[in-house]
């Protein structure tokens, strides 16, 4: 169970957010950008998650909204423990408005800590403010900005911390080298644009481009995602191709690691008659199963439980 400390930190943090300014004295808020550049959220989902239901959606918005879910606690059980690892609150549109994680285990992605709150305009996510760890005084914020067509223009990442004073050595700073009070400091900006079949994601630090990613998408005759190619600063670093069969989607992934080593694996999502993911399997190079996740659903379409390895996660809901 969580201690009360995160809630006290959040109270201080939210009071600070209401009155805080960035370094130019302006309130930090989401903005509508007068630009033709931007990307749809559906296209971003294809880039990062693959075809619909290839990556598990823990809280499908349509099902959560229709069932009038107000909150969910996830109880994680294994051979040594039985405890609440995640608490989520929803608005009546099915959006997550608060997410508390106490070493919640994402399958094949590791664990996550922290408490995060979200602000929306309808279903459009505008801002996240969070504390990554219970014992952390530094806090994070993300601000999403959209263009006039409703496309995502950029995503800004901030940290609430004391800045180094001008001229201070960033490698061996003394306590006196920091400013007296913490402020919201922009760490990175991710800017999105689309040309033909390619999505470009540029990373800016202090208004300078430090990384340029291009994601090329290929679709089949049925307008399903067939393959993606990811280029980083001009070099091809990842390809994913998808094969569709009745009740399954298989992805073949090849990534180029640091040093040029190739990492290849196959992953398969098994779907039920409703199109919901009920299994996710990662295979060894010889085609044998490496790991498997099994998902069970309630009649209303929300997830009932997830099992992977010797870990079981049970979803307990409350309703409006």
DSSP per position, 215-249: EEEEE-TTS-EEEEEEEETTEEEEEEEEEEETTEE
Lowest mean pLDDT among 9-23, 157-171, 292-306: 9-23
pLDDT of 2 strictly over 60: no
CA 173 to the chain's CA centroid: 33
At 122 the pLDDT is 86
Question: What are the extents of the domains in the chain?
Answer: 5-23+41-319
pLDDT grade, residue 135 (50/70/90)? low
At 89 the pLDDT is 98
At 17 the pLDDT is 47
Strands 139-147 and 124-131: antiparallel
The answer to whether 90 touches 64, Cβ cutoff 8 Å, is yes
pLDDT of 111 strictly over 80: yes
Say whether domain 5-23+41-319 belongs to CATH 3.30.2420: no
Structure confidence by residue, pLDDT tens digits, 236-247: 999 999 999 999
CA distances from 101 to 68, 85, 196, 244, 302 (A): 22, 6, 39, 34, 19
pLDDT of 77 strictly over 60: yes
Task: With H, G, I as helix, E, B as strand and everything else as coil, classify residue 166.
Answer: coil
Residue 52 DSSP code: T
The answer to whether 231 touches 213, Cβ cutoff 8 Å, is yes
The listed range with the strongest mean pLDDT (102-111, 211-220, 249-258, 277-286) is: 211-220
Q: Is the dihedral of CA 40, 46, 52, 53 positive or negative?
A: negative
Which residues have CB under 8 Å from 302's CB, separation 6+? 59, 60, 63, 64, 67, 69, 315, 317
At 136 the pLDDT is 60
At 15 the pLDDT is 47
**Mean pLDDT over residues 262-286, rounded?**
94
Percent helix, strand and coil across the chain, each to the nearest 5: 10, 55, 35
């Amino acid at each position: 169970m969580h201690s009360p400390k995160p809630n006290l930190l959040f109270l201080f943090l939210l009071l600070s957010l209401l009155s805080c300014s960035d370094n130019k004295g302006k309130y930090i808020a989401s903005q509508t950008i007068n630009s033709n550049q931007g990307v749809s959220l559906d296209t971003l989902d294809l880039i990062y998650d693959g075809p619909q239901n290839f990556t598990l959606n823990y809280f499908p918005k349509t099902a959560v909204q229709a069932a009038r879910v107000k909150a969910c606690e996830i109880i994680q059980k294994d051979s040594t423990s039985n405890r609440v690892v995640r608490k989520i609150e929803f608005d009546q549109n099915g959006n997550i408005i608060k997410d508390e994680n106490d070493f919640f285990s994402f399958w094949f992605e590791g664990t996550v800590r922290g408490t995060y709150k979200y602000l929306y305009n309808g279903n459009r996510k505008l801002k996240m403010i969070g504390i990554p760890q219970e014992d952390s005084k530094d806090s994070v914020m993300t601000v999403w900005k959209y263009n006039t067509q409703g496309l995502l223009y950029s995503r800004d990442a901030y940290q609430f911390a004391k800045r180094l004073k001008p001229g201070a050595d960033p490698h061996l700073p003394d306590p006196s080298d920091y400013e007296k009070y913490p402020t919201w400091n922009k760490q990175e900006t991710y800017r999105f644009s689309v040309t033909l079949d390619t999505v470009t994601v540029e990373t800016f630090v202090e208004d300078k481009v430090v990384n340029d990613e291009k994601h090329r998408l290929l679709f089949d005759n049925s307008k399903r995602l067939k393959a993606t190619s990811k280029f980083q600063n001009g070099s091809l670093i990842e390809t994913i191709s998808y094969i569709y069969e009745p009740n399954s989607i298989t992805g073949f992934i090849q990534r180029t690691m640091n040093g040029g080593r190739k990492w290849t694996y196959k992953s398969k999502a098994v779907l039920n008659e409703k199109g919901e993911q009920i299994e996710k399997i990662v295979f060894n190079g010889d085609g044998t199963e490496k790991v498997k996740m099994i998902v069970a659903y309630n009649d209303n379409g929300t997830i009932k439980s997830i099992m992977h390895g010797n870990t079981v996660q049970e979803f307990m809901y409350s309703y409006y």
